[in-house]
Amino acid sequence: MKNVLAIHDISCVGRCSLTVALPIISAMGCTCASLPTALLSTHTGGFTGFTCLDLTDEMRKILAAWRPLGLKFDAVYSGFLASGRQIDIVKDAIKSYRTEKTVAVIDPVMADDGVLYKIFDAAFVEEMKKLVPFADVLVPNMTEAMLLTDTKYTDGPYKPAFIEALIKELKAMGAKNVVLTGVFFEEGSLGVAVSGEGKVETYFVPRIEGSYHGTGDIFGSVLTAALVGGKTLIEASIAAVDFVVASIKATPASADKKYGVDFETALAERDKR
């Protein structure tokens, strides 16, 4: 059985990070081990008064305890990190657990819609830049891609040349492949730009209005499991976009968007097919 190491926080309520990665990656037929980065009462988007226990020291202890086990993973998938100090831990995990076939999927979770998440600062962005060369697949949203490349934030529609330049710069920083999310060339559409060895490929779907929490983690989880399952980068990206769309469509219009989307319904529907 293929196995994935997911390095994300546990947000106890709000459907994101590990509470999304574990069920989705398991349902797609991979064992999913976890290295929790933090324990939060809820995620940080739209909730106030949340608690956050930084697990940096515990992560080091967990990795030390794993050392005699000689673990290897088919993918290491990192997401929300609680502090810049965790960057080195993620690098170590990628180096320790990779084989020549392992894919390191790095989602540089830190910002959206032109704004850094409130627990991060400019120093964290600088730390995150250091993780880029460790990515076999870097999965930034548009805001994160602009922060990582010191590009002034602009909202779309974007020009294809702008998207290609962003991807080129992220690759120049050391990312082997880039899957850029939140791309659109015209109003009413939304999708991804994907770059492997060759030219940039895109996949767009009709935009669904509204901003739903946790969809980036759903996207990254499907992408990772699909890559481990042998899909190409563009095939895995299309599967991830389509599953996010199915999850949003499964969510009642009246739902409070900070509690995320009904990916569980979409998983059950997928099983029936």
Chain contacts with ligand PXL (rule: CB under 6 A): 9, 11, 16-17, 40, 43-45, 80, 109, 117, 214, 216-217
Q: Which is nearer to ligand PXL, 76 or 98 (CB)?
A: 76
Sequence-ordered strand ranges (E) for 79-128: 103-106, 111-112, 115-116
| Smallest distance, ligand PXL to C-beta of residue 45, A | 4
Instruction: Pick the closest to residue 263 from 218, 207, 210, 216 (CA basis).
Output: 218
Instruction: Pick the closest to residue 149 from 165, 137, 161, 160 (CA basis).
Output: 165
Neighbours of 114 (CB within 10 A): 13
Q: Which is nearer to ligand PXL, 25 or 202 (CB)?
A: 25
Q: Which is nearer to ligand PXL, 46 or 156 (CB)?
A: 46
Q: Which is nearer to ligand PXL, 42 or 195 (CB)?
A: 42
| Smallest distance, ligand PXL to C-beta of residue 65, A | 24
| Smallest distance, ligand PXL to C-beta of residue 135, A | 17
Separation CA 129–CA 111 (nearest Å)? 14
| Smallest distance, ligand PXL to C-beta of residue 38, A | 7
C-alpha dist (Å) from residue 267 to 125, 222, 243, 264: 34, 11, 8, 5
Separation CA 64–CA 67 (nearest Å)? 5
Q: Across the beta sheet with 3-7, what order do the strands follow?
A: 31-34, 3-7, 75-78, 103-106, 137-138, 177-183, 189-195, 201-206
Q: Which is nearer to ligand PXL, 2 or 140 (CB)?
A: 140
| Smallest distance, ligand PXL to C-beta of residue 231, A | 23
Instruction: Pick the closest to residue 104 from 57, 153, 137, 152 (CA basis).
Output: 137
Q: Which is nearer to ligand PXL, 45 or 140 (CB)?
A: 45
Q: Which is nearer to ligand PXL, 118 or 273 (CB)?
A: 118
| Smallest distance, ligand PXL to C-beta of residue 10, A | 9
| Smallest distance, ligand PXL to C-beta of residue 98, A | 24
**Which phi and psi (to 5°) does residue 157 adopt?**
-60, 145
Residue type present at position 184 = F
Instruction: Pick the closest to residue 9 from 99, 170, 17, 66 (CA basis).
Output: 17
